[in-house]
Homo-oligomer: A and B are copies of this chain.
Amino acid sequence: MSGFFDLVHHQRAYRTFSDEPVDDATIGRLLDAAVHAPSAENRQPWEFVVVQDPALRSSLLDFAEKAWDGGGREFAEARLTPGLMADVERGIAGGGYRDAPVLIVVAADIERGLKVTVPSSIFPAIQNLLLAATELGLASALTTISMGFTEDLQAMLGLPAHVVPQAVIPIGHPVRPLGPSKRDPFETHTHRDRFGTPW
C-alpha cells in the first residue's frame, strides 16, 4: 500500500483463502500492531489464541457453521445484499474460512479490564490487526458469529471464565486480491454541531 489512506481503502473482508502458510514472524507483526492500540485505563485486556492446529481450527469453525445453520442464515437472508449473502455463505458453510491456515481468537480479560470498556478496548486492537494484515498483503476477516458459544469456545481453548472471546479472525493469503471497498460517502452520516445539520 502506498500510505495509510490507501491502506484503509483496501481493507476488505476475505472469505476465501489460499492454502499458503503464514509464518510465525508475520503473525507476530500482526499482534504487535494489535497491542499498540489504545485501551481504557491502558489495561491492555486482550488475550490472543493463535490457532493453527488443523483439528482445533475445524472445531472452532464448526461453531460458526452451527450458528449459521441454526438461524443465522435465515436471519441474514432478509438483511444482506445477494452478493454479500453468497460471500458469507461461502466463508462459513462453503469451506472458505476452513482454508485459512491461521485463526486468531481475540478474547478480553474482564478481570484486567472492566467489562463495560471491553468494546472500546478490544476492537481498536482488532482493527490494527486487520489493517496490519492488509498492509502485508494478507487476507483476513472480522467474524463474531460464533460468539454465542462463549462457554464452548472457552472449554475448547482452555480459556478461564474471565477471559471472554470477542472475535475469530481467519488469516491467510488471498486467492485473489480484492479491489477497494465501497461505502456510503462519509458526508451521508456526518452532522455539523447537531444531528440533522448537514456537513
Q: Which A residues are closer than 8 A to B by beta carbons?
A: 1, 3-5, 7-9, 11, 13, 24, 28-29, 31-38, 40-42, 44, 46-53, 56, 76, 79-81, 84, 117-120, 122-124, 126-128, 130-132, 135, 142, 144, 157-160, 163, 166-167, 181, 183-187, 189-196, 199
Known: A41-B84, A186-B35. A163 touches B195 (CB 8 A): yes
> A132 touching B5 by the CB < 8 A rule?
yes
Can you offer 26 A-B residue contacts whose CB atoms are under 8 A? A3-B135, A4-B33, A4-B132, A4-B135, A5-B132, A8-B36, A32-B185, A35-B183, A35-B184, A35-B189, A36-B181, A41-B84, A42-B80, A42-B84, A44-B189, A47-B189, A48-B186, A48-B189, A48-B190, A49-B190, A49-B192, A56-B194, A119-B119, A120-B166, A157-B193, A157-B194
